[in-house]
Amino acid sequence: MAVDELDTRILRLLLEQPRTSVREYARILGVARGTLQARLDRMERDGVITGTGPSLSPAALGHPVLAFVHIEVTQGHLDDVGDALAAVPEIVEAFSITGGGDLLARVVGRDNAHLEDVIQKLISLPGVVRTRTEVALRERVPHRLLPLVESVGRAARA
């Protein structure tokens, strides 16, 4: 999907001022409310905008330990293990990957002992061969998309 300069200005506002109304976004951008709404609808339909909910902090919810768990799966069981991972609340996201493992899961825990319990649960899932865990010490670059949006905007202007 092609994102033009107005789209990138809209996305920037959504990221910088997520609780502002559509009417206010239109006023700030100097476009008609209907134009803005049509752009938002198209970007949602095309998968550019994938959600509008709040960002939550696992640490503030009592789960300050973050780990990345590489999971090696028995051939032919990737979908089954993926479905089983979705049932573990401490797994906040998981991806199929290439390289050292078949899946990579971002896992949170209350403390190291709880993290170990979660990993033991993962190891016991049918189809899981082994896991390798890396515990995050400190977040260096928080999840962000604004620099990417700005880069896309610069490319759209060129």
- The number of CA neighbours under 13 Å toward the Cβ of 148 is 6
**pTM given for the model:** 0.86
pLDDT in tens, 66-119: 999 999 999 999 999 999 999 999 999 999 999 989 999 999 999 999 999 999
Burial 43-66 (b: 16+ CB within 10 A, else e): beeeebbeeeeeeeebeeeebebb
